[in-house]
Amino acid sequence: MPDYRRGAHTVYDIKYHLVWVTKYRYEVLRGDVAIRVRDLIRELCMAKEITIIKGHVSRDHVHLYVSAPPRMSVSQVVQYLKGKSSRILQQEFSSLRKRYWGQHLWARGYFCASSGTVTDEMIKAYIEQQDMPPKDQFSVRDEAQ
């Protein structure tokens, strides 16, 4: 059984695989910048109760496998992580300010794939069986028809 996360009125298991790249795919995520990106993403995720399951900072892109609370959409998660990290990184590293003079460190888009423990086929089968009576019991619904 998966480890479900809990909120005040929710129980959930929402996971996303996120990938975003630097603008123009410049390989600027090296050395101190890469370490700072990793630390910043950890801090930002903790602040919004986003759990990082696995992550990796490459030279020109970031991979994250996260579990996010249901109150945040995927676009809100990515917007928050990319926006805050870009702003802080450009304040701290003058080399990034020079290269990205338009104040945009990350490219516009991102990749997202949802992940879970239940397959599409399992969900479809579960939904189809909702109105079917158990094989060995009497069903009120059958009698009314």
**Residues 10-26: what's their mean pLDDT?**
93
Judged against a pLDDT cut of 60, whether residue 33 lies above it is answered with: yes
Sorted by sequence, the CB contacts under 8 Å of residue 2 that are 6+ apart come out as 13, 117
Q: Locate the domains of the chain by residue range.
A: 5-117
The answer as to CATH 3.90.1150.10 being correct for domain 5-117 is no
Name the nearest CA neighbour of 27 among 56, 1, 53, 61.
Answer: 61
Per-residue pLDDT at 45:
98
Of 1-10, 75-84, 110-119, 122-131, where does mean pLDDT reach its minimum?
Answer: 122-131
Judged against a pLDDT cut of 50, whether residue 51 lies above it is answered with: yes
Per-residue pLDDT at 58:
93
Biggest distance spanned by C-alpha atoms of the chain: 76
Of 28-32, 36-40, 49-53, 127-131, where does mean pLDDT reach its minimum?
Answer: 127-131
**Residues 10-20: what's their mean pLDDT?**
92
List the catalytic residues.
126
For residue 144, what pLDDT band results from cuts at 50, 70 and 90?
very low
